[in-house]
Amino acid sequence: MSRYHAIMTNDVVNGEGVCVSFWVQGCPHHCPGCFNPETWDFKEGQPYTEHTKWEIIEDIGANGLTRNFSILGGEPLDEHNVGMVEEVVTAVRQAYPNIKIFLWTGFTIEDLSGCFDQKIGRILNTIDVLIDGPFIEAEKDLSLKLRGSKNQRIFQKIDGKFEEKK
Ligand code: SF4
């Protein structure tokens, strides 16, 4: 069973505007200097259930404000987490066709484009913005938007394809 680390209802740091942020639990990358090492262990955090999905959907529309949605880690695209993430992004997209969905991964877009996992393919088809690559301490730059190090890139979906945002 997949596990998650936390849900934040009103996050103004990760994403654009106000977002519901969902941190998955478990990461195989173990980047030195990672800001969230407590998300590395696949056995920690809380079990994901149907209730978690509905909590996220309710939170996105809570108090009459529609929020964007951010998925962070941990590693959302690890094999232990893709089933959960696919279920959540599919449900969120059905409930809110017009919000922006952001996803952070330690894999590069090149790693992902050579991957034939259908769940990952469906997740990438559903989200709007992908922030890729591991955190590299030697390239750390706290002034970067949405990223911790210069090697990481922001890809925005335009006409169904990811294009790097410079
Ligand atoms: S991929 Fe992200 S969560 Fe995983 S170790 Fe690297 S910085 Fe931390």
Bridge partners for 75 per DSSP: none
Q: List the domain boundaries for the chain.
A: 3-165
Contact status, residue 94 vs residue 130, Cβ threshold 8 Å: no
Bridge-based pairing state of the strands 153-158 and 161-165 = antiparallel
pLDDT of residue 115: 85
Query: What class, spelled out in words, does domain 3-165 have in CATH?
Result: alpha beta
pLDDT of residue 76: 98
Q: What sign for the dihedral angle of Cα 111, 81, 53, 117? A: positive
Distance CA 73, CA 82 (A): 12
Cβ of 39 closer than 6 Å to ligand 1, yes or no, is yes
Ligand 1: centre distance to CA 106 (Å): 6
Ligand 1: centre distance to CA 130 (Å): 15
Tell me if the pTM is above 0.75. yes
98-153 confidence digits (pLDDT tens): 999 999 999 999 999 888 899 999 999 999 999 999 999 999 999 999 999 999 99
Nearest atom in ligand 1 to the alpha carbon of residue 30 is: 5
- To which H or E segment does residue 26 belong? none
Q: Whose CA is nearest to atom 3 of ligand 1?
A: 74
